[in-house]
Chain A
Amino acid sequence: MDTTQLLKGVLDLAVLAVLKDEDGYGYDILRRLRTAGLEEVGDASVYGTLRRLFQAGLLTTYVVPSEEGPHRKYYGLNAAGRDQLQRAGKTWRTFASTMDGLLDERGVAA
């Protein structure tokens, strides 16, 4: 199955998750996602997602001047964002374990 198709559904959650402990700027967030194993995530998808989560009121942003290179726009979770992370995380875990169970019963190899 094409991972990019799956990513579309869970990218919001993934972005919220990598911002849970530490704020980050776009490129940094992208790197965290890739380091975490989501290597196929598209640059534009991440930025688009950040934009949408911000629009939805789940993120705060602030600009940090940088000595070398352009200023960086940092994103962080606000209260609504953390709340959303908890809920979406639960949904995902339920969904994932349901899928696991479904596949286990039928002996589909992991």
Chain B
Amino acid sequence: MNVTNEQEEYLEAVRRALADLDPTSRGELLEDLPEHLAEVAAEGEGTLVERLGPPEAYAAELRTAAGVGVATAKWSGRFDDRVAAGFRSVRGSLGVADRKVGPVIGYSRFSEFLRLLRPAWWLLRGYLVAMAITVLAGNSQPGLLPRLGGSTLAATLLLAVCLLASIWLGRREPKLPPLARSGLALGGVFLVLFGMVGFDKADNYGGGFSDQPQTISNNPYEFVQDIYAYDENGKPLTNVYLFDQDGNPIRIGDPYRCQESYEFYERAVPDVAVGYPYCPNQQPYQVAPRPGQVRPPDGQLGGPEPTDSAPQPTTTPEPTTTPGPTTTPTPTPTATN
């Protein structure tokens, strides 16, 4: 704002606030004001409103001190004046806060400190623009780099261009027409909002890293140490090899967990040749226990420990003792229902 304009505006506002006085008294009261405003402005410290308070308040004080009639209504002016007065009083309080907060952080004014931060804002703005472009380009889960198409090089280039453009714009901002400056300010507000949302999201992703082990532990096979395969008759299979759809061997569990089969694994290197189960001696279903029947000791069931060639004796579920290919001719009492 032009300095002279500011003084004229202030003077005019005081005059309006004294509008109810007769012209002579008003003229006398206002006589010294232009000179005073010039003096105050010459001091060069803050705006007139910051220095003297709102013109309405100045007028009221002048009126009281001079002992002329007090205006009937406090806000006797038009609606415009009242709005302008409200605006000025807000600006005045901001100015006061500006001067009060400044010394706390070691500056004469808080706005002085903020002015120093302007290049930092330009950088942040450039970064936020780059991030906004990324999001607009369809990356719904942006990280912290503006990745376009997942390329780090593109990200760096985009970031550099946006940073430079923002700095360039920032240095030219004072020369822009007021409308363009308002547009920039509005855009800045949007960018800050966008940035706050983005940082909040990124923060959640960041927190997600600590959750990820839990996500992995959702794998139901994580605690599988061995695999026991049975055929349709309940006969345990040994030396079973599992492959996925691509023909890759599926290796789960710990092949070395069985002391007994240590030798076996010595033999089995390379481990591709290792078949399941790793521990044939530790079958989970050697005998399906039945209600009412005492589980006989292992020795009576199948006699020797099962080996590759000696299939595990099982109680076949069939009531008829059909000698399937798996039933062994052991003296095991067949299940009788």
- Tell me the chain A residues, 70-95 only, with Cβ under 8 Å from chain B: 70-73
Is A17 part of the binding interface, using a Cβ–Cβ cutoff of 8 Å? Answer: no
How near does chain A come to B225, taking the closest CB pair, in angstroms? 83
Interface SS of chain A: helix, strand, loop or mixed? Answer: helix
> In the complex where A48-B61, A73-B35 touch, is A43 in contact with B40 (Cβ < 8 A)?
yes
Q: Is B66 in contact with A51, judged by CB distance below 8 angstroms?
A: yes
Q: Is A43 in contact with B36, judged by CB distance below 8 angstroms?
A: yes
Across-interface contacts of A46 in B (CB, < 8 A):
65
Cross-chain contact of A26 among B28, B32, B57, B60 (Cβ < 8 A): B32
- Tell me the chain B residues, 5-51 only, with Cβ under 8 Å from chain A: 28-29, 31-36, 38-40, 42
Q: Is A25 in contact with B65, judged by CB distance below 8 angstroms?
A: no
Is B235 part of the binding interface, using a Cβ–Cβ cutoff of 8 Å? Answer: no
Q: How far is the CA of A54 from the CA of B301 in the complex (A)?
A: 128
- Tell me the chain A residues, 40-83 only, with Cβ under 8 Å from chain B: 42-52, 55, 69-73
Q: Is B38 in contact with A48, judged by CB distance below 8 angstroms?
A: no
Cross-chain contact of A27 among B29, B39, B60, B65 (Cβ < 8 A): B39
Is A38 part of the binding interface, using a Cβ–Cβ cutoff of 8 Å? Answer: no
Q: Is A47 in contact with B63, judged by CB distance below 8 angstroms?
A: no
Q: Is B40 in contact with A52, judged by CB distance below 8 angstroms?
A: no
- Tell me the chain B residues, 217-238 only, with Cβ under 8 Å from chain A: none
Across-interface contacts of B64 in A (CB, < 8 A):
45, 48
Cross-chain contact of B65 among A44, A70, A71, A73 (Cβ < 8 A): A44
How near does chain B come to A54, taking the closest CB pair, in angstroms? 8
Category for how many chain B residues contact A: 20 to 34
Category for how many chain A residues contact B: 20 to 34
Q: How far is the CA of A60 from the CA of B52 in the complex (A)?
A: 26
Q: How far is the CA of A27 from the CA of B66 in the complex (A)?
A: 16
Q: How far is the CA of A52 from the CA of B42 in the complex (A)?
A: 27
How near does chain B come to A50, taking the closest CB pair, in angstroms? 7
Q: Is B59 in contact with A44, judged by CB distance below 8 angstroms?
A: yes
Q: Is A48 in contact with B39, judged by CB distance below 8 angstroms?
A: no
Q: How far is the CA of A55 from the CA of B67 in the complex (A)?
A: 10
How near does chain A come to B46, taking the closest CB pair, in angstroms? 13
Across-interface contacts of A72 in B (CB, < 8 A):
35
Q: Is A48 in contact with B31, judged by CB distance below 8 angstroms?
A: no
Across-interface contacts of A47 in B (CB, < 8 A):
29, 32-33, 36, 62, 65-66
Q: Is A43 in contact with B28, judged by CB distance below 8 angstroms?
A: no
Q: Is A44 in contact with B61, judged by CB distance below 8 angstroms?
A: yes
Q: How far is the CA of A42 from the CA of B33 in the complex (A)?
A: 13
Q: Is A45 in contact with B31, judged by CB distance below 8 angstroms?
A: no
How near does chain B come to A17, taking the closest CB pair, in angstroms? 16
Q: Is A48 in contact with B62, judged by CB distance below 8 angstroms?
A: yes
Across-interface contacts of B67 in A (CB, < 8 A):
48, 52, 55
Across-interface contacts of B121 in A (CB, < 8 A):
none
Q: How far is the CA of A101 from the CA of B59 in the complex (A)?
A: 38
How near does chain B come to A98, taking the closest CB pair, in angstroms? 26
Q: Is A52 in contact with B35, judged by CB distance below 8 angstroms?
A: no
Q: Is A49 in contact with B65, judged by CB distance below 8 angstroms?
A: yes
> In the complex where A11-B65, A51-B28, A52-B67 touch, is A44 in contact with B35 (Cβ < 8 A)?
no
Q: Is A50 in contact with B58, judged by CB distance below 8 angstroms?
A: no
Q: Is B35 in contact with A27, judged by CB distance below 8 angstroms?
A: yes
Q: How far is the CA of A95 from the CA of B317 in the complex (A)?
A: 119
Q: How far is the CA of A71 from the CA of B36 in the complex (A)?
A: 10
Q: How far is the CA of A25 from the CA of B35 in the complex (A)?
A: 10
- 22 pairs across A/B with beta carbons < 8 Å? A26-B39, A27-B39, A42-B61, A42-B65, A43-B52, A43-B58, A44-B58, A44-B59, A44-B60, A44-B62, A45-B61, A47-B29, A47-B32, A47-B66, A48-B61, A48-B64, A51-B65, A55-B67, A69-B42, A70-B34, A70-B35, A72-B35
Which residues of A come within 8 Å of B, CB atoms?
Answer: 11, 25-27, 42-52, 55, 69-73
Question: Which 4 residue pairs of A and B lie closest in terms of their CB atoms, listed nearest first?
Answer: A48-B65, A44-B61, A48-B66, A27-B39
Q: A47-B66, A55-B67, A69-B38 given; name 9 further pairs at CB < 8 Å.
A: A25-B35, A26-B32, A43-B58, A44-B58, A50-B32, A51-B28, A70-B34, A70-B35, A73-B31
